[in-house]
Structure formats: structure tokens, C-alpha cells
Amino acid sequence: MIIEGDAAAVLQTLPGQSVQLIVTSPPYADQRKSTYGGIHPNEYVAWFMERAGEMWPVLRDEGTFVLNIKEGAVNGERHTYVLDLIQAMRSAGWLWTEEFIWHKKNSYPGKWPNRFRDSWERLLQFNKQRKFAMYQEEVMVPVGDWAKRRLNELSETDLTRDESATGNGFGKNVSNWVGRDLVYPTNVLHMATECGNRKHSAAFPESLPSWFIRLFTTVGDVVLDPFCGSGTSVAAAIKLNRIGVGIDIDKDFCHISRQRVDAATLESCKLSLL
Amino acid sequence: MIIEGDAAAVLQTLPGQSVQLIVTSPPYADQRKSTYGGIHPNEYVAWFMERAGEMWPVLRDEGTFVLNIKEGAVNGERHTYVLDLIQAMRSAGWLWTEEFIWHKKNSYPGKWPNRFRDSWERLLQFNKQRKFAMYQEEVMVPVGDWAKRRLNELSETDLTRDESATGNGFGKNVSNWVGRDLVYPTNVLHMATECGNRKHSAAFPESLPSWFIRLFTTVGDVVLDPFCGSGTSVAAAIKLNRIGVGIDIDKDFCHISRQRVDAATLESCKLSLL
DNA sequence: GTTCCGCATGAATCGATAG
DNA sequence: ACTATCGATTCATGCGGAA
């Protein structure tokens, strides 16, 4: 279900304790001006906390809030509004459980005299209480793929400089996994951004919300994205047989989202027949 | 050179404006109690800032301070002392230029009910002013395989995209790209942790300080590690023909460091004969 | 049906120029 | 002096058409 409107208002219409997972990538400060009007970094925390306050009653006590965000560079310095945001969330009662790293393999190109390309984003996990639902087995990784991916990275990057340490550490580590089928992942996720022919400004890849949906919800749970954009998270939820709810203030985005959601629903129907 | 003592005191004995790069992995809060006495997270910022204040006059104006740190989990939550530390550094006049991510490829296995293995650490870059020394070419990495195809015959896209400029950009572009086999890295570093043959309980791999030493200094510059532990950074500096200075409060660590430094110096001497 | 190749496009950032 | 706009720089990916 896609609802058009400001999350601050729409959230008040949702029933309390109904959502198991909020996973969202809100407009970053001073970004996406064309679609969201661009919130100034200095006003961003107040803007966000107003909406986070409405999310609290909607989220189930054992639910989880995953926030994808990254601060930009201003006057040669990283802006601190994300740090302020974490502190503000804690002051409001949220627990800052974890910070995952999304390593974007295809980051935006460019060259500057004082800085390299920004190739990662934060995935902040907040909870209402220390005990929350987590299904770790759902995101386990086949050991074969794990090893293959690591070896790929080895050849691609400057890891060759790390010969001695890599040789010892990696080899030793591999021997630990021999004989196992599945291993638990870490808090570093490697995924490429979507920069294909979609109309919308490329959000995160569907595999990202999909990962957190499998980790923090089970079939039939409600997944909410209060800034759903083109509906990536909602479509991911539906494909995983969760109930996806998306909110966006932009009419065109809502239209795109509904099309994606319908396509995902249809796909789920077909799969259920097999 | 390895100096035994508390960094707060020893730093006062170093000449001003003498250090081009400070790269260090200080004792983490509430960690390594057996060796450093363990600073409580709530006292950590004050403890650190006292020493950072002594680093300021020692560091050259165009120099850089790279800090390797990661907060642990306390009562199911990530502690916020690193966030507080960044804010405190900025209040003291330091510029928070960048946050690199060190992705530890071979973090130790382990399982917790509410958390995956922590596989990354922060590398905070601070500067005294916006203009600082940076030698980006020294850390370039091999280009991806995609380049071979594309550069065989330069596509029209590159031409048209550069046409939007003044028109002479294209010719420049060709000369820059043809035959290129190296590209600039990103702010995500993939390096394995060093396996624990060292006495130091949290040693980072030598490739890590080595990378920053090549990036932020040139031959003959002074590199300082005020919490040098087993001397990894100092040895790395010497192998790169920089002047390495290490400080540590622990006598045994200083002993180990001196042995490593001597070995590195001897190696440099041998190499210079070739 | 595979594989290969051309191609557009990104949550970017800085410095210079213009108002 | 300070803000707003614009040009320049650059790398990895997935899509669609072609071999």
C-alpha cells in the first residue's frame, strides 16, 4: 500500500504497534532538491525528529528501525548532522543498537585535491528496547559465494600490498569455514547502487532493504518505508511475502511505487501457484 | 625513535611544527584493561582531548591527524563516545575532513543473539586547516577490467558529455584516459587484520599506516604515533624512508617497538645498497 | 541461448565565476 | 563578505542490442 502525503501527518493515521520493521532512506540534507525541496543541514535534525516521533508509537516494541543516511562534505569538512541525529534519537528514547556499513562498489566518480570518492553509507539500526526480533539464519551466506567474492575483491583492489598479513590471515580464516554450508554475515554489506534506466534518482538496490527485511521480520509482518521514493523497500517486502506500506510526499513517486508494487504482487501470485 | 611515557607529557618535549602526520590507534575505551588500565567510556573524551591538545602545536599546519577508533557495544547499544570525540575535536579547532572505513576482511568468528560480527573500524581524518598535503598518486590502484573494452575505442558518450564544457575538454580527456591502468582509490580500505602473533592486543596491519603515510607524507617527513603499542606505524614509516617517532607508556611495548624499528632500519639500509 | 560490447548515469565535491 | 550557480573531474554497473 502506498500513501501520498507527509510522513509526519500520515504516520498518525496508522494503527499503533502495527509495524515490525521501518526501513528507509530519507532525503539527505540539501540533496534531491528537485523532488523534496531540500532540507538545510542545520534544520535537518529537527525535521527528522518530528517524523521519528510519529514512528515510535507505530513501531512494535520488538521491532526495528533501519535508517540509511550519509553526510556530505561542506567547506572541506564532513557535516555533523548525522552525528547530531544519532544523539537526538537517543535523547528521544531510541536505542542505537548498531551501525552497518553499506560499501557501494560503484560510487560516484570524481577527483578532488583533498578527498577521494565517497564509497560508503551508514545503515543505522535503532530499537525501542534491548530485546528485538532478529532472524539471523535468514541472511546466512553460502560459504562458496563468500569465498569467491572475497577472492574477487582481493584481485580487484590494492590488497596485493597486504601480502604478508593477507596470506596469513586469509588462509587461516578459510580453514575455519571448511565443511560448513552457511556462515553468518558481518556488519559490512557490499552492494552496488542502481544506476540503470529508472526514472527516479537511483535509490538503494532492492537487495539492501531485502536483506534487512529477511533479518528483522518474518512472513506476514508489516514493513514500513515513510520516505519510500520509487517504492524499492515496499516492493522488496511484497516479494518476501511481507505486508509493505510506503509513504511519500511526491505524487509522481507514489505513482511509480504503485506500479512496482503491483508488479511485485503479481509476481508473488504467480510464484504461489508453483 | 621510541619514547617511553605518557603522550600528554612526552608531546610537550617535541619541537613545534615538526610532524607531518600523526597516525595512531589509541587504546579504546574500556578495552585492553590489562595493558593500558582501561579508560572508562564516559571519561574517554576528556582523557583523549588532553592529549590531542598537545598534538596540535607539534603537528605542522598542513599536516594530517589520522585516528583509528571504533566504539564497542555496551548494554546492547553502541557507545557514543566516538561521536562525542568528533564533536570535541571540532570544538577544539580541528577540522573533521573525512571518515575512512577500514573493512576488516577476516574479523574473528563469533555469534551473538542480537548482533553480527563487527567487521569495520573508523579512520577519522582531522586537519588544522583546509589546505593540507596529499599525494594521491602514491596510493593509486589498478583499474577494473571494464576499462580494457571501453578504452579500445573511445565512445561517443564521453565526447558528448565533455562537449557541454568549453569544447577543448575532450582532447584533454583522451590523453588522460588512454593507456591508463591506475585509478584513484575510495574512502573504503579493505585490509585483513594482523593475526595475533604480536603481544599488542589490537595491532592493525602495517599496510594501514603505510597507506596513510604514503598518502599524506613524502620522503623525509616526520610521522608520529603517540600510542604506538608494538610500533607498527613507526616501523612502516621507516620502511618508507620517513622519520618515525613513537610514544608509549608501557615499557615492554617500547622494548618490542625498538626491536621492530631496528629491524626496519636495517632493512632500509640493505635496500639502499641495491 | 549465451556472450560481448556500447552506452547512460549516478545521495559527489571543489573551485571559479557571477550576483 | 557571503551565497548561488556552473563547469570539470571520473569509475563501475546493468541494460539492451548485436554477434
The CA distance from A171 to A16, in Å, is 50
Strands B141-142 and B59-69 come out as unpaired
The share of chain B scoring above pLDDT 70, in percent, equals 82
Interface check B135 vs A, CB under 8 A: no
Q: For position A156, what pLDDT does the model report?
A: 31
Closest residue to D6 (CA to C1') is B165
Residues 6+ away with beta carbon under 8 Å from A137:
A182
Interface check B72 vs A, CB under 8 A: no
- What confidence category does residue A201 fall into, taking pLDDT thresholds of 50, 70 and 90? low
Strands A141-142 and A73-74 come out as unpaired
The CA distance from A92 to A56, in Å, is 10
Q: Is the pLDDT of residue A162 over 50?
A: no
Residues of chain B contacting A120 with CB distance shorter than 8 Å:
101, 186-188
Position B6, amino acid: D
The CA distance from B90 to B142, in Å, is 35
- pLDDT, tens digit, 9 for 90 and up, residues A112-128: 999 999 999 999 999 99
Q: For position B160, what pLDDT does the model report?
A: 65
Q: Is the pLDDT of residue A175 over 60?
A: no
If DSSP codes are grouped into helix, strand and coil, which group holds residue B174? helix
- H-only helix segments in B153-250: 156-163, 169-177, 207-216, 232-239
CA-to-C1' distance for A241 and C14, Å? 46
Q: Is A270 exposed, middle or buried, given 0-12, 13-18 or 19+ CB atoms closer than 10 A?
A: exposed
Average pLDDT, chain A: 84
End-to-end CA distance of chain B: 25
Average pLDDT, chain B: 88
Interface check A136 vs B, CB under 8 A: yes
Q: Which residue of B has its CA nearest to A185?
A: B116
Q: Which of A111, A162, A168 sits opposite B184 (nearest CB)?
A: A111
Q: For position B165, what pLDDT does the model report?
A: 45
- What confidence category does residue B178 fall into, taking pLDDT thresholds of 50, 70 and 90? low
Q: Which of A77, A153, A162 sits opposite B97 (nearest CB)?
A: A77
What mean pLDDT is predicted for residues B261-270? Answer: 92
Better pLDDT: A30 or B262 = B262
- What confidence category does residue B108 fall into, taking pLDDT thresholds of 50, 70 and 90? confident
Better pLDDT: B107 or A51 = A51
Please tell me the pTM assigned to this model: 0.91
Is B32 in contact with B229 (CB distance < 8 Å)?
A: no
- pLDDT, tens digit, 9 for 90 and up, residues A16-51: 999 999 999 998 887 545 445 568 888 899 999 999
Q: Which of A114, A162, A186 sits opposite B191 (nearest CB)?
A: A162
- The reply to whether the CB atom of residue B146 sits less than 7 A from any atom in nucleic acid chain D is yes
- pLDDT, tens digit, 9 for 90 and up, residues B212-259: 999 999 999 999 999 999 999 999 999 999 999 999 999 999 999 999
Separation in Å, CA of A202 to nearest CA in chain B: 20
Q: For position A34, what pLDDT does the model report?
A: 47
Better pLDDT: B199 or B28 = B28
Enter the C-alpha cell of residue B76: 546492547
- Which residues in chain A, range 8-67, keep a C-beta under 7 Å from any nucleic strand D atom? none
**Contact flag B77-A95 (C-beta cutoff 8 Å):** yes
Q: Is the pLDDT of residue B271 over 50?
A: yes
Better pLDDT: B234 or B196 = B234
Better pLDDT: A181 or A250 = A250
Output the DSSP codes for A26-93. Answer: PPPTT--HHHH----HHHHHHHHHHHHHHHHHHEEEEEEEEEEE---EETTEE--HHHHHHHHHHHTT
Separation in Å, CA of A235 to nearest CA in chain B: 26
Residue given cell 543473539 in the structure block: B113
Separation in Å, CA of B83 to nearest CA in chain A: 6
CA-to-C1' distance for A187 and C5, Å? 36
> Which nucleotide across the nucleic acid strands is nearest to B144, CA versus C1'?
D12
Q: Is the pLDDT of residue B105 over 90?
A: no
- What confidence category does residue A159 fall into, taking pLDDT thresholds of 50, 70 and 90? very low
Position A246, amino acid: G
- What confidence category does residue A274 fall into, taking pLDDT thresholds of 50, 70 and 90? low
Better pLDDT: A3 or A144 = A3
- pLDDT, tens digit, 9 for 90 and up, residues A230-262: 999 999 999 999 999 999 999 999 999 999 999
Interface check A214 vs B, CB under 8 A: no
Q: For position A193, what pLDDT does the model report?
A: 87
- pLDDT, tens digit, 9 for 90 and up, residues A80-137: 999 999 999 999 999 999 999 999 999 999 999 999 999 999 999 999 999 999 999 9
Interface check A185 vs B, CB under 8 A: yes
What mean pLDDT is predicted for residues A54-69? Answer: 98
Q: Is the pLDDT of residue B211 over 80?
A: yes
- On chain D, which bases lie within 7 A of the protein's CB atoms? 7-16
Q: Which of B78, B193, B210 sits opposite A99 (nearest CB)?
A: B78
CA distance to A164, B102, B103, B109, B250, per residue, from B106 (Å): 14, 12, 9, 8, 28
Q: Return the top range by mean pLDDT from A185-199, A213-227, B183-197.
A: A213-227
